[in-house]
Amino acid sequence: MIDVIQIYKSKGVFTKSTYNPENRKHFQDIDMSFDSRQGYLENDILMLPIHYKKFPDFETADVTIIQDTKGWLSFLENKHIKNTDVSNSFKNVPTKSILSNHESFYTLIQLDSPKAFEFFKLKKSNKDTYEVFLDYESNSKRIGIPKRENHKICDLKHSKPIRYKINGKSDFTLTGSKERTFYEYDYIIEWIGKIDTIEFCELNKISKRKTIPIDNCKLIDERKILR
């Protein structure tokens, strides 16, 4: 049996001029449901896009993680802020190059010791619980400053989703080569079930309407006040 974890991730990138309470509030507004092609669980069968066949043998996996990502470009297209002063260095970056930096599927094995994915490490502490850790040291450039210590975030149990928020900034103003940049990350992580069957589908046959369990989440907010 393979455990299946679903993650909903939102990422916002702001310039100094756009990093204000109004824009941050709009970033935190999450659509409760959306259409996904990343894969889903149905009748104890894991349905995945056919190109995920390239991953290591699923027979050896202990956990599969499906991640749906809302990138910063969709945030910039929000009607409330689309006319704000956004740096051209952000406007000119193609969507594909942004999304290519974010894996949307992971397979992990041997979770008696912590295994890395995204900003995190995951460990199976007993049959009913996973421990989730922040791996800041390996991801400091992506998260930004201020520095955090690696630490345990929470215990993850079946059907008990958690919501984790963190932010940071990159400051290149001393060199004059780049404007100060602020990052906001918002994760909803849910252990949704176990499977022993996987089916691979063509992309035009795998769309699924997903509902984010935002009202049932335990919130862990590790954001800092940034200026």
User: Would you place residue 141 in the very low, low, confident or very high pLDDT band (cuts 50, 70, 90)?
Assistant: very high
Residue 92 falls within a domain, yes or no?
yes
What would the two tokens of residue 107 be? 């397979």
* Range ranked top by mean pLDDT from 102-106, 154-158, 174-178: 154-158
Helical spans, DSSP H, in 144-195: none
Greater confidence (106 vs 74) lies with 106
Instruction: Say what the pLDDT of residue 119 is.
Output: 93
The closest of 67, 100, 44 to 189, measured between CA atoms, is 67
Average pLDDT of the chain to the nearest whole number: 83
**Separation of alpha carbons 62 and 48, rounded Å:** 16
The closest of 225, 215, 224, 210 to 37, measured between CA atoms, is 210
Does the pLDDT of residue 23 top 90, yes or no?
no
Q: Are 23 and 182 in contact (CB under 8 A)?
A: no
**Separation of alpha carbons 71 and 191, rounded Å:** 23
From residue 52, alpha-carbon distances to 159, 183, 190, 201, 209 in Å are 25, 29, 21, 10, 20
The pLDDT of 173-189, averaged and rounded, is 78
Does the pLDDT of residue 178 top 60, yes or no?
yes
The pLDDT of 25-35, averaged and rounded, is 77
Domain that holds residue 210: 2-221
Residue 227 falls within a domain, yes or no?
no
The pLDDT of 104-125, averaged and rounded, is 94
Dihedral, CA atoms, 23, 29, 35, 40, nearest 10 degrees?
120
Instruction: Say what the pLDDT of residue 171 is.
Output: 75
The pLDDT of 167-192, averaged and rounded, is 82
Number of domains in the chain: 1
Residue 151 falls within a domain, yes or no?
yes
Does the pLDDT of residue 75 top 60, yes or no?
no
Greater confidence (191 vs 18) lies with 191
User: Would you place residue 80 in the very low, low, confident or very high pLDDT band (cuts 50, 70, 90)?
Assistant: very low
Task: Specify the range with the lowest mean pLDDT, choosing from 54-58, 73-77, 149-153.
Answer: 73-77
User: Would you place residue 27 in the very low, low, confident or very high pLDDT band (cuts 50, 70, 90)?
Assistant: confident
Q: Are 199 and 48 in contact (CB under 8 A)?
A: yes
DSSP bridge partners of 197 = 45
Instruction: Say what the pLDDT of residue 176 is.
Output: 53
User: Would you place residue 58 in the very low, low, confident or very high pLDDT band (cuts 50, 70, 90)?
Assistant: confident
Q: Are 69 and 108 in contact (CB under 8 A)?
A: no
Greater confidence (161 vs 174) lies with 161
Residue 226 falls within a domain, yes or no?
no
